[in-house]
Every structure is written in C-alpha cells, then in structure tokens.
Amino acid sequence: MAETPKLEVRPRTVLGKKVGALRRDGRLPAVIFGGHADSTPVETDTSTFQKGYRRWGQTTLLSLTGLDGGEVPVLVHDVSREPRTGSLLHVDFARVSLTEKTHAEVPLHFTGESPAVRTHGGVMVHALSEVRIEAFPQDIPHQIEVDLSRIEQIEDTLYVRDLVVDASKIEILNDGDQVIAKAVAPRAEEEVKPAAVVEGEAIEGEVAEGEAAPTAAGAAPAAGAPAAKGAAPAAKAAAPAAKGGAPAPKAPAAEGKKG
C-alpha cells in the first residue's frame, strides 16, 4: 500500500468574514469534522494544498500533521471555490477511522481503444463517470480503470458488474446492471429538402429578388413582368379600336393584393 500523503495544518483563530485576510496571505481556511469529535477550524498553505489536491482528489487518505494529539486521518470532503476565478476559498476535511469502512465516490478512468470505434465507425457513449464504493479509508482507490478495448462490436456494452476491483477490499454499491459505456452506430444526418414550389407561384410572404409582387387574377402584370401562364393579356389603356368596331374599353384596375 502506498504511503499516506501528509499535509501540515495549524489551528485557526481567524473566523467568519475575517478569513479574507488569511487568503490574501496565502493561507487556506479549513475545518475538520466528523469522527465523533467536535469540528476543528484549521488553516493550511494554499499553494501546497492546491498542488497536492490535483493528485489526491477526494478519494486519497490524508494524514494531517501539526495538531495536538498527533496525526489525524482524513478525506477531502468538499472544496469551495470562487465562482468567477476558481480560486480556493475553503476546504472541509472529514475524519475517518482506519478500522471502520466508509463510503466514497471513485472516478472511472477510461483506457484503451475500442475496435467498435476504430474499425467499425461506432460512437462511444459514456453513461457513468464515477461509482460509489464502500471500503476502509486506506483501501479506497484513487480511480477505477475501464478498458474500452473490450468493446469490440457495435452495441457491445460494459456494465458496472464488469469493473475489475479487489472484491476482498472494495464493494461497489451501484447496481451491477448499470451501463458504464456502450458503442452505438452513428446516426445518419437527416437530409433537409426545401419545400416544393409550384411553377408560377411564389412562396407566401416572399417575393423573389428582381420580381414584382403578384397581382390579382386577371389584372395586368407590372411593367416589365411577363403575363401569368394561361392568363389573357389585359387591354392596354391606349389600345386602338378593334377592326370595324368601337374602341376597346379600358380594363378596370384590379385591387392590389395585400401582403
């Protein structure tokens, strides 16, 4: 078993809104709670914690030093950050007993390349990113490996029951039938076809560039526009008289079609 990382802390006397001064001085306010003991406000070096936390996460057993009574075994329970900058604000450490099992959320680490993706063009779907386990604090793994090379064909699936852990030390609390990862066929893109337009008709509410707005049936077309197919041409205002008869009457103006 790997050696337990140590983190130096010291009792904290600055409380409430005054902790801002600690942060400006490079100190990170924290609290130790649980374990059938009173909560203890402490502080630690911000930079030291930040560098270590990248390796520890919330599943690594830590040993806090610098307090009366000796080292205190803890897990990182919660880390508070400033929403805009992401800078550390506060840490909660949970006391644990090395002789009592505890629960933890352990992240899944995906490795390997799936033949279903590489060879068959499938798409890998990840359904879980962590699982809940029960174990002694010193036996909690930093992460659990998931080998995607076992997914060979489209529709092949890895379940929680397929995870490889030391069952003598770790009990996975998730349902064994929960899906972890699955290879699926890529969805064909739906082909979007434009709506059909009947010859000689315009789409409602639209006028093609360079064309005049449509007129009422039987009305004269706008200047320069061709007459509608099959429609009789309107009489011109200055049409000559029909052969042997009276001059042709003027065609009444049709009411314009409102858009």
Tokens coding 48: 């030291």
> CB neighbours of 3 closer than 8 A, spacing ≥ 6?
none
How far apart (Å, rounded) are the C-alpha atoms in residues 134 and 5? Answer: 21
Rg (CA), the chain: 38
Single-letter code of the amino acid located at 192: V
- What are the chain's domains? 6-95 (2.40.240.10), 102-184 (2.170.120.20)
Query: CB-based contacts of 190: which residues, under 8 Å, 6+ apart?
Result: none
- 45 strand-pairing partners: 27
Query: Quick one: residue 221, left, alpha or beta (phi over 0 = left, psi -120 to 50 = alpha)?
Result: beta
Phi, psi of 158 (to 5 degrees): -105, 130
Percentage, residues of the chain above pLDDT 90? 67
Paired tokens of 229: 């197919």
- Residues 6 or more apart whose CB falls under 8 angstroms from that of 200 comprise 228, 229
Where residue 57 falls (left for φ over 0; alpha for ψ -120 to 50; beta otherwise) is: left
Q: Report the predicted TM-score, pTM, of the whole model to 2 decimal places.
A: 0.66
- Say how many C-beta atoms besides its own lie within 10 A of residue 180's C-beta: 23
Residue 195 burial by Cβ neighbours in a 10 Å radius (0-12, 13-18, 19+): exposed
Tokens found for residue 215? 């007129």
pLDDT for 16: 87
Count of CB atoms situated within 10 Å of the CB of 97: 13
Q: Is 152 helix (H, G, I), strand (E, B) or coil?
A: coil
Per-residue pLDDT 10s for the chain (259 aa) are 568 999 999 999 999 888 999 999 999 999 999 988 899 999 999 999 999 999 999 999 999 999 998 999 999 999 999 999 999 999 999 999 999 999 999 999 999 999 999 999 999 999 999 999 999 999 999 999 999 999 999 999 999 999 999 999 999 999 999 999 999 998 743 443 454 444 444 444 444 444 444 444 444 444 444 444 444 444 444 444 444 444 444 444 444 444 4
pLDDT at residue 86 in the model: 93
Q: pLDDT value at position 33?
A: 96
CB 151 within 8 A of CB 114: yes
Q: Encoding tokens for residue 227?
A: 């007459």
Could you give the C-alpha distances from 211 to 45, 198, 200, in angstroms and in order? Answer: 75, 16, 12
